[in-house]
């Protein structure tokens, strides 16, 4: 459902020569357990339908597993800094739960949502990696996935940066400086605090939602047990009253079933969206980290470039023969510094756009979630009222 909604508003680049609207529609279906024992995993069918020229063919079906989705997410995170990358469902920690029908369906749903969000994001949908993910055959995908192994996927320059980051952090601590260099933007500060606090509130709501699922199951069970006991009581009465007891038992059983069903609905359509919301906020936090890193880089490179300039001036005065060398260095550093500044500014701009998008999308998402929740609870309550009400005429009739 999310797919349809988000695609209808998507701004696909109108480069297609055909007269029909450009579209890209993806679905993740058909979870199948493959492999044996510890190696066992679930594979999904990913079906892509598109008329975009960048894609080879109008329809493509590929088989993907969870780690392929992770690969895509990591590539996107690397290349699209500043964008809130759609969140992936968590890796399951508990072994035995990994293959339960409930978990598999939840995960499938979440993966479907994920891919569709990527495919309908104005920037992300341009990604080459997305195209690879949707089209490459399984062997190619596997090669790509196994090549990217954690730290080895970083380029040497990135590695350098990582070491520098660690170094500066350590020196800051050593020198007693509490925090590394941070932006002094009060609005951004406010936004950061907002994000952190939002996560807390959402986590609490999600916790209660999960408990509510459990309570529905427990109530269903208790009602079923009670109904059975009442039915037995009625069996020994034998007359009209006994029949009423028996009917009571039947209605209890039926309601118990409805409660279990509602519990399942709540799990899929109430708790999961809240969890998804939390994940989305965590993705924002990841972008915030990227922004902080970019800011620091910008500052450091600017600093380094300036120092070099000063050095160069000294050398010029001293008429040193190192001047040409250092001149080149200065030029390079200036370029790098400008590049770092540009990168940082892109992230800031993107983040602002993303934030607006995020808030609007979340309002819609939560609106739907709230609506479905209220509808479900209303339906359940009505079912309960109707079931019990149906007993009343019989109860009246057998008044002793």
Binding site for another protein (CB under 8 A): 1, 4-5, 190-191, 194, 197-198, 201-202, 204-205, 207-209, 211-212, 215-216, 218-219, 221-223, 225-226, 228-230, 232-233, 236-237, 241, 244-245, 248, 355-356, 359-360, 362-364, 366-368, 370-375, 377-378, 381-382, 384-385, 388-389, 391-392, 395-400
Smallest distance, Å, CB 47 to another protein? 18
Smallest separation, CB 109 to another protein (Å):
13
How far apart are CB 10 and another protein at their closest, in Å?
A: 14
> Residue 217 CB, nearest distance to another protein (Å)?
9
Q: Which two tokens mark 114?
A: 């994920």
Torsion angle defined by CA atoms of residues 144, 150, 153 and 159, in that order, rounded to the nearest 10 degrees: 180
Distance (Å, rounded) from C-alpha 216 to C-alpha 186? 45
Residues 84, 358 contacting (CB under 8 angstroms):
yes
Identify which of residues 63 and 384 has a Cβ nearer to another protein in the complex: 384
- Which H/E stretch holds residue 282? helix 272-317
Distances 300 to 160, 168, 346 between C-alpha atoms, Å: 13, 10, 18
CB 47 within 8 A of CB 61: yes
Q: Which residues contact 268 (CB under 8 A, 6 or more apart)?
A: 105, 106, 109
SS3 call for 211: helix
**Min CB(80)–another protein separation in Å:** 22
State the nearest-atom distance from the C-beta of 254 to another protein, in Å.
13
Closest alpha carbon to 180 in 57, 55, 67, 292: 292
- In the complex with another protein, which residue's Cβ is closer, 47 or 191? 191
Please identify, using beta-carbon distances, which residue of 189 and 332 lies nearer to another protein.
Answer: 189
Neighbours of 371 (CB within 10 A): 10
Q: Would you say 187 or 321 has its CB closer to another protein? A: 187
Which residues touch 113 (CB under 8 Å, ≥6 apart)?
2, 3, 86, 276
Of 135 and 206, CB closest to another protein: 206
Which helix (H) or strand (E) is 27 found in, with range? strand 24-34
Cβ proximity to another protein: between 134 and 380 the closer is: 380
Residue recorded with tokens 């508990």? 94
State the minimum distance, in angstroms, from the CB of residue 230 to another protein. Answer: 6
Closest distance between another protein and the C-beta of residue 384, in Å?
Answer: 4
Cα 338 from Cα 361, distance rounded (Å): 34
Cβ-proximal residues to 186 (8 Å cutoff; 6+ apart), any chain: none
Q: Which residues pair with 50 in a beta bridge?
A: 24
d(CA 93, CA 169): 31
CB of 360 to another protein, least distance (A): 5
Q: Which is nearer to another protein, 147 or 208 (CB)?
A: 208
Query: What minimum distance in Å lies between the beta carbon of 378 and another protein?
Result: 4
The residue (of 59 and 204) whose beta carbon lies closer to another protein is: 204
Instruction: Give the nearer residue to another protein in terms of CB position, either 67 or 377.
Output: 377
Count other C-beta atoms under 10 Å from residue 228's C-beta.
14
Residue 136 vs 199, nearer CB to another protein = 199
- DSSP character for 148? -
Interatomic CA distance for residues 234 and 243, integer angstroms:
7
């Amino acid at each position: 459902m999310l797919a349809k909604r988000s695609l209808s508003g998507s701004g696909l680049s109108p480069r297609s020569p055909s007269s029909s609207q450009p579209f890209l529609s993806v679905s993740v279906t058909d979870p199948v357990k493959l492999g044996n024992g510890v190696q066992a995993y679930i594979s999904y069918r990913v079906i892509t339908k598109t008329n975009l020229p960048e894609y080879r063919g109008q329809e493509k079906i590929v088989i993907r597993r969870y780690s392929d989705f992770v690969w895509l997410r990591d590539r996107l995170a690397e290349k699209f800094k500043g964008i809130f990358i759609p969140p992936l469902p968590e890796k399951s920690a508990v072994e035995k739960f990994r293959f339960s029908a409930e978990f598999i369906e939840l995960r499938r749903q979440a993966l479907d949502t994920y891919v569709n969000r990527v495919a309908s994001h104005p920037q992300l949908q341009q990604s080459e990696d997305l195209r690879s993910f949707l089209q490459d055959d399984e062997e190619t995908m596997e090669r790509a996935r196994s090549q990217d192994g954690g730290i080895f996927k970083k380029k040497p320059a990135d590695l350098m940066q990582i070491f520098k980051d660690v170094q500066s952090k350590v020196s800051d601590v050593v020198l007693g400086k509490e925090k590394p260099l941070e932006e002094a933007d009060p609005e951004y500060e406010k936004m950061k605090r907002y994000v952190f606090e939002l996560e807390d509130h959402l986590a609490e709501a999600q916790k209660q939602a999960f408990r509510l699922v459990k309570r529905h199951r427990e109530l269903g069970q208790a009602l079923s047990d009670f109904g059975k006991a009442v039915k037995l009581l009625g069996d020994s009465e034998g007359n009209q009253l006994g029949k009423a007891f028996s009917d009571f038992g039947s209605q209890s059983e039926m309601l118990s079933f409805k409660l279990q069903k509602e519990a399942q609905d709540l799990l899929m359509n109430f708790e999961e969206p809240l969890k998804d919301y939390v994940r989305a906020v965590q993705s924002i936090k990841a972008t915030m980290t990227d922004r902080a890193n970019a800011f620091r880089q910008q500052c450091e490179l600017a600093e380094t470039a300036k120092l070099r300039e000063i050095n160069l001036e000294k050398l010029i005065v001293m008429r040193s023969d190192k001047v040409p060398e250092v001149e080149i260095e200065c030029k390079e550093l200036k370029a790098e510094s400008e590049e770092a500044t540009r990168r940082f500014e892109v992230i800031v701009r993107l983040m602002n756009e993303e934030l607006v998008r995020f808030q609007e999308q979340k309002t819609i998402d939560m609106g739907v979630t709230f609506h479905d929740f209220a509808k479900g609870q209303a339906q359940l309550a009505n079912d309960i009222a109707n079931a019990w009400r149906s007993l009343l005429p019989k109860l009246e009739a057998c008044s002793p």
